[in-house]
Amino acid sequence: MDAPACAYRNSLAEPVAGALSQSESAKEPVADETLAKDRNCPYQQRFLERVSYLPKADIERIKEALTYARRAHSGQTRLSGEAYITHPIAVAGMVADWCMDADTLCAALLHDVLEDTSARKEELAERFSPMVADMVDGLSKLDKIEFSSYREAQAENFRKMLFAMARDMRVVLIKLADRHHNLSTMSAVRSDKRRRIARETLEVYAPIANRLGLNKMFRDLQDISFTLIYPMRARVLSRAIAALRGGGVELLERIERSIQSKLNEVGVKGQIIGREKSLYSLYTKMVEKRRPFSQILDIYGFRIILPDIPSCYITLGTLHALYKPIPGKFKDYIAIPKANGYQSLHTTLIGPTGAPLEVQIRTEEMQHVAQEGVAAHWLYKDSVHSGADLQIRTHKWLHSLLEMQSGDSSEFFENVKIDLFPDEVYVFTPKGQIIALPQGATPVDLAYAIHTDIGHCCLAARINHELSPLRTELKSGDLVEIVTAAHANPNPAWLGYVKTGRARSRIRHFLRTAHNEASTALGERMLYQELLSMGVEPSSVTAAAWERLMRANGDHSVKEIFADIGMGKRLASIAARRLLMADENTAMPANSGTLVIQGVEGMAVQIGKCCHPIPGDPIIGSLKKGQGLIVHTHDCPVVLKSRLHEPHKWINVAWEPASGSLFDVRIGIEASKERGMLARIDTAISGEGANIEHVAMEDATEGAFSRWQFTVQVASRSHLARVMRSLRRIPQVVRINRLYPAEEKP
């Protein structure tokens, strides 16, 4: 199939060097503001020629939008001095090259009027259509809202655009065209702002273009951003490529002739296109491989465009017979397409000079989708396979991004950036479903990709029928089964190795919710304990007193007060006194009591890692903001030092009798080096009903004794004493003691 006349023109992509000099900063020469007043100027005429594929009625609507935009932006100029209207016309021109409909082109022309002029959304809806107004609104920044920082404003604007994208895919196409033109015309912008915008493009907008399959836009955004961040490096690399290009033409022509000859022999007709790696991809390869330009051998490659899929596989076999393939460098994206709809066969061959030669083999349809991605749906409407399936997948992806929302827009922005991964692995579920995950993803990522509840309850994983740790990195082709348990909960340690934004968002949300619930329960107990110690029954406090306390503190509910106390943001003693002061019927007593804990209340009560107290140890608690109550032993060095300087942060704490819980404690054992020693120690510990959590032996090759470190779980101090007595009965044990962090051996 021949590509339509409105296909994305190469002229849209400025040469990389064009982003480096002010004289080349604009795509079209514009004299002054008189252009905006002249309907028949060449600049606008060229744009109208680009929309000639539309019906006459639609072209009239676009002319009306052009007139409206010209009037709205009248008198406005860009930093370069050119009339502002040149920008929306250039953006609409790019969108026209994707053969978009009249609504999209109108929205592209009007995309800045709500943000930069006095135009109103209602007026756009009335004059053009509600759909156009919604798209323009989705593209407008939230300038009228005050944000605490640029980062927060950026994140919130991105969230708004993502919502608009999920409702209407065309919004993102306009946004990418807008970003492309802005990047290409940044000579007049301050250098620090230029670099900031370019970095944002590399981190967010270029990956979005890649995720949508807009390969040409993706490469353009990368290359222009690279030249704005590192102009000198871009110049040097461009010159090196130009010099190599001149000397390698003859070799490339010879390889192309040999490939064409072989294809003719097997009766396959196809188009062979020489291709060159983009500037940014070359630079990143040099950085990742730590190689100079002279050692990058696969700068050039070939793309073979064929009429159908069987021809692709015939061509692959023909090439492998012509040049030896490099093992492990073959990828079949036809059988398993990428998440952005990309399909092709990739192989790397050893060329006639011994240098690697990359070849991509695909059909015409695959070429269209590879270049235009989701826009192929509009470019090639007559094709069954072009873009409809990709649109469905893209909508699902956008909605999965929206599911990662949290109250913090900056966290949401970071999660989305994590999810815009460039490389993927493909794994199989036991039912044969193929799931794409980012490079380095783990079974936890897979569990959350399947369903949030499976992620929350995952306990282990079977990878290719073998039990594996949850932090194992998955590889393409792995068969992964997630093992779940009803009692399992997300572990904070998972955040250290999950790769997808969805998994990270879901884990954080669960931990935040669990922390709040545990803090609320602890805060309630602390406040009630304080009231009881003052001789006041909590149930006797009137609702009016609670209402006055909430009003005074700006709280919305009693639970907020409890949560703040549990997280250490306010003291229970002060809250109790304020509550009683607010109660007109209760006198103010003045003594304080002891808080009784079990030590396993959840995240709101933490056992001090410096002293590891267990039931039976005399303890004291410290309220630390955002962490809740941290329990220490009375003789802990941290306690002795801090109580002198901050006595108000410490409260009396006692263990609840017979809590029935187990606590970690470390013990050191010195014993003779004899066969079966570890088994005897294990028997003694387990015989007293204690669990061994961890064991380590000091590396000592000389001497008659070995030094062991055990982490055992005991219920109390008396339980630990029984364990240690049992260990002392072993004749070979010469020394045993309880260890604290300062005493532990590495």
Residues with Cβ within 8 Å of residue 170, at least 6 apart in sequence: 100, 103, 104, 107, 135
Q: Are strands 300-306 and 271-276 parallel, antiparallel or unpaired?
A: antiparallel
Q: Which of 115, 364, 517, 664 is catalytic?
A: 115
Residue in this structure with the two tokens 């600049």, named with its chain if needed: 43
Residues 372-392 as b/e (b if ≥16 CB within 10 A, e otherwise) read: bbbbbbbbbeebebbbeebbe
Q: Break the chain down into helix, strand, coil percent, rounded to 5.
A: 50, 15, 35
Measured distance CA(736)–CA(330) in Å, rounded: 60
Radius of gyration of the CA atoms of the chain, in A: 34
Residue 313: phi and psi, rounded to 5, are -75, -35
Inter-helix orientation angle 150-167/409-419, to 10° = 60
**Strand, coil or helix: 92:** helix
Residues with Cβ within 8 Å of residue 242, at least 6 apart in sequence: none
Query: 603: closest CA among 467, 717, 489, 447?
Result: 489
Query: 201: closest CA among 169, 167, 176, 165?
Result: 176
**Quick count: other Cβ atoms within 10 Å of Cβ 393?**
17
The conformational region for residue 207 under phi > 0 = left, psi -120 to 50 = alpha, else beta, is: alpha
Q: Which amino acid is at 206?
A: A
User: Is 101 tagged catalytic?
Assistant: no
User: Is 38 tagged catalytic?
Assistant: no
Measured distance CA(570)–CA(651) in Å, rounded: 13
Query: 110: closest CA among 160, 55, 154, 73?
Result: 73
Scanning 40-116, the segments in alpha helix (DSSP H) are 42-50, 56-72, 86-96, 102-109, 113-116
Residues with Cβ within 8 Å of residue 66, at least 6 apart in sequence: 44, 47, 89, 109
> Catalytic residue positions?
115-116
